């Protein structure tokens, strides 16, 4: 091979080495010291407390709590990934599903107090303001919950409920 041929191979090898080195540096997680130094410089930031839910959601949550607190643990605004675990032979399909459901927070989660397993999820239906993208995501969430054996109940924010009605909807009414 002529000398020019070796220089091209050497140049290509150096470029590949630099690309792999840069990729390794960028993918490496930050050290705890670097994270703390970046987080401690928030003098310019304004941090305020945020409400967990709207007043309408709080009213429904209190009704659910009154109906279910004697039977189940009542938790609010949990990420769906705290409730389900996803495994799939196709890693790309699993990643796509995880990207879809990762931002979802469940409105109310009802869990068995002994096993701590989620038995039911209550979702609050907004007043028809959801777009087709959110409807599709909600359908995926319903499918995931169903596959996990978790019942899902939808309560409408613009509807009035009594504790007895919520108890029936949650399937907690005692048979006489």
Residues 63 and 142 in one domain: yes
Would you tell me how many other CB atoms lie within 10 Å of the CB of residue 152?
15
Domain range for 22 is 3-39
Residue 124 has pLDDT above 80, yes or no: yes
CATH number at residue 91: 3.40.1350
Residues 93 and 159 in one domain: yes
Mean pLDDT of 142-148: 93
User: CA neighbours within 13 Å on the CB side: how many for 71?
Assistant: 16
Residues 14 and 69 in one domain: no
Give the number of domains in the chain: 2
Residue 164, exposed/middle/buried by CB under 10 A (0-12, 13-18, 19+)? exposed
Whether 111 is covered by a domain: the verdict is yes
* pLDDT, position 88: 87
Contact (Cβ atoms closer than 8 angstroms) between residue 150 and residue 141: no
Whether 130 is covered by a domain: the verdict is yes
Closest-CA residue to 117 (of 90, 82, 91, 152) = 82
Residues, the chain: 176
Higher pLDDT, 92 or 1: 92
Mean pLDDT of 41-58: 83
Q: Where are the alpha helices (DSSP H) in the chain?
A: 3-27, 32-39, 55-68, 91-101, 132-147, 163-169
* pLDDT, position 175: 58
Q: How confident is the model at residue 128 (pLDDT cuts 50, 70, 90)?
A: low
Mean pLDDT of 124-130: 73
Higher pLDDT, 44 or 32: 44
Residues 59 and 113 in one domain: yes
* pLDDT, position 31: 64
Q: How confident is the model at residue 44 (pLDDT cuts 50, 70, 90)?
A: confident
Rounded Cα distance between 78 and 107, Å, is 7
Whether 74 is covered by a domain: the verdict is yes
Whole-prediction pTM value?
0.70
């Amino acid at each position: 091979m002529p000398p020019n041929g070796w220089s091209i191979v050497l140049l290509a090898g150096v470029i590949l080495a630099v690309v792999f080195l840069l990729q390794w540096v960028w993918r490496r997680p930050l050290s705890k010291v670097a994270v703390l130094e970046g987080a401690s410089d928030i003098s310019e930031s304004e941090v305020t407390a945020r409400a967990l839910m709207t007043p309408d959601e709080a009213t429904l949550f209190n009704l659910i709590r009154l109906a279910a607190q004697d039977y189940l643990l009542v938790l609010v605004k949990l990420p769906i990934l705290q409730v389900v675990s996803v495994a799939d032979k196709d890693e790309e399909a699993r990643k796509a599903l995880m990207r879809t459901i990762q931002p979802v927070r469940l409105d109310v989660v009802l869990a068995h107090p002994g096993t701590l397993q989620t038995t039911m999820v209550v979702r609050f239906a907004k007043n028809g303001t959801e777009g087709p993208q959110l409807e599709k995501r909600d359908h995926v969430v319903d499918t995931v919950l169903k596959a996990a054996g978790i019942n899902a109940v939808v309560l409408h924010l613009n509807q009035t409920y009594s504790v007895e009605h919520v108890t029936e909807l949650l399937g907690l009414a005692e048979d006489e």
